[in-house]
C-alpha cells in the first residue's frame, strides 16, 4: 500500500491541482485535509479548465472517492455552489463518490465579515488574506465555540452553539462599532441547506480506516504552501492552518504511519499572493514576463501574483520541515524565453551570509538574496513529456536545483494540461 501526501513547497499556487489530478489516475481516494475555499486548484483536461476550491482534485475522475476531512474549514454555501458549478461541467458529485467529515468546522458569514473588518482596519499590517473567513473560522475552532457539520442535525444544538459563538463575535463587533449579527436568520438559512450538506457527512476517520484495510491507495491533497504554514511560514503573513504534510494525519483522522511518501510541488520560479516577505521578488521586466507567461493571477481572488526567481534556500528548508521525499517541478516552460535564469543559494543579513530563512519577519524583510546564474535555453519546452527531449540547459538547471535542494525531482510539468508531464520516478512505486 502506498499513500501519498501532496503539499506546496513555496507560498501556494505551485500547481498542486494539476499534479493531484494527474496522479489520481493511480489513486482510489483523494482527501483534502486543511484550508478551505482560500485554495484555488486548477486542472486542465483536454482544453477544459476546472477550478476547484474545496472539492478534492480527484472529483473529476470517475470511480474515485473524494473526501473533505475534519481539518478543512467549510463554507457550506461555497461548497454547494462549487458542487453545482462542477456538475454543470458534467462531473458527477453524489453520496457514493463524495464524503465530508461530520467534524469539519463551518465558515459562516460572520467569519467572512470579521476577515474583511480586520483587513480593512489593519492599514499597513494587513495580511492580504483571501477574505474568505478562513482565519476567524480557525480561531473559533481552537476557541472551542465553532459550529461543525454535525451541528446541522439538530435545531436545538445549532441554536445553542450559534448563541455561544455570536456572543463572542458580537462583543468584538460592538467594540469595533459594527452592527451586531442576528442569530435567527442565520439559523433559518443554515437549516434550509442542512439536508444538502448532511447527506454527504460521515465519520471520515472510520472510512479511511476501511480504505486502508482494503488496501486502497489514498492521495492527500494539501492546500496553500509550507511558507504559509501558521507555525513554519513567514508569520504573521501566513494562513491559519498547518500546511505541512503531517497535517494530513490530523486533518483526516489517521496516524502518521498512514503516509508513505510526501510529494512537494515546486514552481521553477517563485510566486506569492498577498503581503509579506519575498526575498527573490522581481519588480522589473523579468517579474512581468514571469507573471504574463505564467498567467500569474489568483485562482480565487484574481489578484496579480508577485513573481521572482527560484529560491533554493527556501525550498531546501521546506523540504526538511515537511519531510518531503520528492519534488514535482512545475511551470518549467514559463522560463523558456529567458536569457539568464537565477537561483537564490544564500542570503545576506546585515553583511553576514546565512543559509536559511531567519525566523523573525523583520529579518526576513531585510535579507538580500545571493544568486547563482544559469544560461537560459531559449527554446520551447511546452508540452514535452520525455526528459530526453528537454534542451541541455533546461536539464542543467533542473539538475542544479535538485542538487541544491537535496531532493529528487520525480516529475516535471511543462504545461497546464494534465498529460504534459514528465515522469521521472513514480511516487506510488518507490
The answer to whether 223 contacts ligand IMO (rule: CB under 6 A) is yes
Instruction: Provide, rounded to whole angstroms, the least separation between the CB of residue 391 and ligand IMO.
Output: 29
Beta-strand pair 201-202/368-375: unpaired
Residue 58 binds which entry of ligand IMO, ligand GDP, Mg ion, none, CB below 5-8 Å type-dependent: none
Which among 337, 56, 96 has a CA at the least distance from the CA of 202? 96
Stretch that binds Mg ion, among 37-45, 105-113, 114-122, 315-323 (CB under 5 A): 37-45
Do 40 and 239 meet the contact criterion of CB atoms below 8 Å apart? no
Residue nearer to Mg ion on the CB measure, 57 or 234: 57
Site map for ligand GDP, 12-41, x if CB under 6 A?
A: xxxxxxx---------------------xx
Q: Which of 37, 41, 169, 232 does the annotation list as catalytic?
A: 41
Instruction: Provide, rounded to whole angstroms, the least separation between the CB of residue 399 and ligand IMO.
Output: 27
Q: Produce one character per residue of 3-42: b if its CB has 16 or more CB atoms within 10 Å, e if not.
A: bbbbbbbbbbbbbbbbbbbbbbeebbbbbbbbbbbbbbbb
Report residue 159 CA to chain centroid gap: 33
Bridge partners (DSSP) of residue 353 are: 348
Do 32 and 426 meet the contact criterion of CB atoms below 8 Å apart? no
| Subset of residues 162 to 191 that bind ligand IMO, contact rule: CB under 6 A | none
Which among 104, 53, 112 has a CA at the least distance from the CA of 82? 53
Instruction: Provide, rounded to whole angstroms, the least separation between the CB of residue 98 and ligand IMO.
Output: 19
The answer to whether 13 contacts Mg ion (rule: CB under 5 A) is yes
Stretch that binds ligand GDP, among 88-96, 355-363, 385-393, 408-416 (CB under 6 A): 408-416
Site map for ligand IMO, 256-275, x if CB under 6 A?
A: -----------------xx-
Active site residue 13: yes
The answer to whether 280 contacts ligand GDP (rule: CB under 6 A) is no
- Compute the distance between CA of residue 310 and CA of residue 345 in angstroms, rounded to an integer: 9
Question: What are the residues whose beta carbons fall under 8 Å from the beta carbon of 217, sequence distance 6 or more?
Answer: 1, 2, 3, 4, 26, 27, 28, 29, 428
The answer to whether 333 contacts ligand GDP (rule: CB under 6 A) is yes
The answer to whether 115 contacts ligand GDP (rule: CB under 6 A) is no
- Compute the distance between CA of residue 63 and CA of residue 58 in angstroms, rounded to an integer: 10
The answer to whether 135 contacts ligand IMO (rule: CB under 6 A) is yes
Beta-strand pair 270-272/105-106: unpaired
- Compute the distance between CA of residue 124 and CA of residue 10 in angstroms, rounded to an integer: 24
> Cell match 472510512: residue?
207
What are the Cα distances from residue 274, in Å, to 90, 184, 214?
Answer: 33, 35, 42
Residue nearer to Mg ion on the CB measure, 40 or 58: 40
Instruction: Provide, rounded to whole angstroms, the least separation between the CB of residue 269 and ligand IMO.
Output: 15
Residue nearer to Mg ion on the CB measure, 42 or 105: 42
Please state whether the peptide bond connecting residue 236 to the residue before it is cis, i.e. omega within 30 degrees of 0. yes
Residue 413 binds which entry of ligand IMO, Mg ion, ligand GDP, none, CB below 5-8 Å type-dependent: ligand GDP
Residue 400: other Cβ atoms inside 10 A: 17
| Subset of residues 20 to 59 that bind ligand IMO, contact rule: CB under 6 A | 38-41
Instruction: Provide, rounded to whole angstroms, the least separation between the CB of residue 315 and ligand GDP.
Output: 14
Do 346 and 354 meet the contact criterion of CB atoms below 8 Å apart? yes
Active site residue 363: no
Residue nearer to Mg ion on the CB measure, 300 or 365: 300
Contacts 24+ apart (CB under 8 A), 181-184: 181/109, 181/110, 181/113, 183/159
Residue 135 binds which entry of ligand IMO, Mg ion, ligand GDP, none, CB below 5-8 Å type-dependent: ligand IMO
| Subset of residues 296 to 325 that bind ligand GDP, contact rule: CB under 6 A | 299
Residue 308 has φ and ψ, to the nearest 5°, of -165, 180
Stretch that binds ligand GDP, among 181-189, 320-328, 329-337, 360-368 (CB under 6 A): 329-337
- Compute the distance between CA of residue 206 and CA of residue 294 in angstroms, rounded to an integer: 41
- Altogether, the residues listed in the chain come to a count of 430
The answer to whether 134 contacts ligand IMO (rule: CB under 6 A) is yes
Stretch that binds ligand GDP, among 140-148, 327-335, 355-363, 397-405 (CB under 6 A): 327-335
Catalog residues that contact ligand IMO under the rule CB under 6 A: 8, 11-13, 38-41, 127-130, 132, 134-135, 223-225, 228, 239-240, 273-274, 299
Q: Supply the residues annotated as catalytic.
A: 13, 41
Catalog residues that contact Mg ion under the rule CB under 5 A: 13, 40, 299
Amino acid at each position: 500500500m502506498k499513500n501519498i501526501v501532496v503539499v506546496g513547497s513555496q507560498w501556494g499556487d505551485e500547481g498542486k491541482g494539476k499534479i493531484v489530478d494527474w496522479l489520481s489516475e493511480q489513486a482510489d481516494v483523494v482527501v483534502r485535509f486543511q484550508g478551505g475555499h482560500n485554495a484555488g486548484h486548477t486542472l486542465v483536461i483536454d482544453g477544459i479548465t476546472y477550478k476547484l476550491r474545496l472539492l478534492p482534485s480527484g472529483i473529476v475522475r470517475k470511480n474515485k472517492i473524494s473526501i473533505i476531512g475534519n481539518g478543512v474549514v467549510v463554507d457550506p454555501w461555497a461548497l454547494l455552489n462549487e458542487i453545482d458549478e462542477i456538475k454543470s461541467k458534467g462531473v458527477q458529485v453524489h453520496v457514493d463518490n463524495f464524503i465530508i467529515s461530520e467534524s469539519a468546522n463551518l465558515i459562516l458569514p460572520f467569519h467572512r465579515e470579521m476577515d474583511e473588518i480586520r483587513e480593512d482596519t489593519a492599514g499597513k499590517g494587513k495580511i492580504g488574506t483571501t477574505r474568505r473567513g478562513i482565519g476567524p473560522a480557525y480561531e473559533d475552532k481552537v476557541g472551542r465555540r465553532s459550529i461543525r457539520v454535525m451541528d446541522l442535525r439538530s435545531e436545538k444544538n445549532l441554536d445553542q452553539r450559534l448563541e455561544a459563538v455570536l456572543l463572542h463575535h458580537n462583543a468584538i463587533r460592538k467594540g469595533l462599532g459594527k452592527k451586531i449579527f442576528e442569530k435567527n436568520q442565520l439559523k433559518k438559512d443554515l437549516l434550509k441547506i442542512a439536508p444538502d450538506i448532511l447527506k454527504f457527512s460521515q465519520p471520515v476517520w472510520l472510512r479511511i480506516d476501511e480504505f486502508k484495510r482494503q488496501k486502497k491507495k489514498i492521495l492527500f491533497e494539501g492546500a496553500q504552501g509550507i511558507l504559509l504554514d501558521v507555525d513554519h511560514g513567514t508569520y504573521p503573513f501566513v494562513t491559519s492552518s498547518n500546511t505541512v504534510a503531517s497535517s494530513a494525519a490530523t486533518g483526516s483522522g489517521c496516524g502518521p504511519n498512514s503516509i508513505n511518501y510526501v510529494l512537494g510541488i515546486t514552481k521553477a520560479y517563485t510566486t506569492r499572493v498577498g503581503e509579506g516577505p519575498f526575498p527573490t521578488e522581481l519588480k522589473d521586466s523579468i517579474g512581468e514576463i514571469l507573471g504574463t507567461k505564467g498567467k500569474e493571477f489568483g485562482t480565487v481572488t484574481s489578484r496579480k501574483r508577485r513573481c521572482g526567481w527560484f529560491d533554493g534556500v527556501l525550498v531546501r528548508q521546506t523540504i526538511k520541515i515537511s519531510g518531503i521525499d520528492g519534488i514535482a517541478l512545475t511551470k518549467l516552460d514559463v522560463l523558456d524565453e529567458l536569457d539568464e535564469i537565477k537561483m537564490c543559494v544564500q542570503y545576506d543579513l546585515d553583511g553576514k551570509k546565512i543559509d536559511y530563512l531567519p525566523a523573525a519577519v523583520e529579518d526576513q524583510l531585510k535579507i538580500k538574496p545571493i544568486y547563482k546564474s544559469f544560461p537560459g535555453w531559449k527554446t520551447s519546452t511546452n508540452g514535452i513529456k520525455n526528459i530526453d527531449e528537454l534542451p541541455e540547459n533546461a536539464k542543467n538547471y533542473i539538475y542544479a536545483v535538485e542538487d541544491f535542494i537535496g531532493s529528487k525531482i520525480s516529475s516535471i510539468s511543462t504545461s497546464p494540461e494534465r498529460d504534459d508531464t514528465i515522469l521521472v520516478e513514480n511516487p506510488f512505486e518507490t
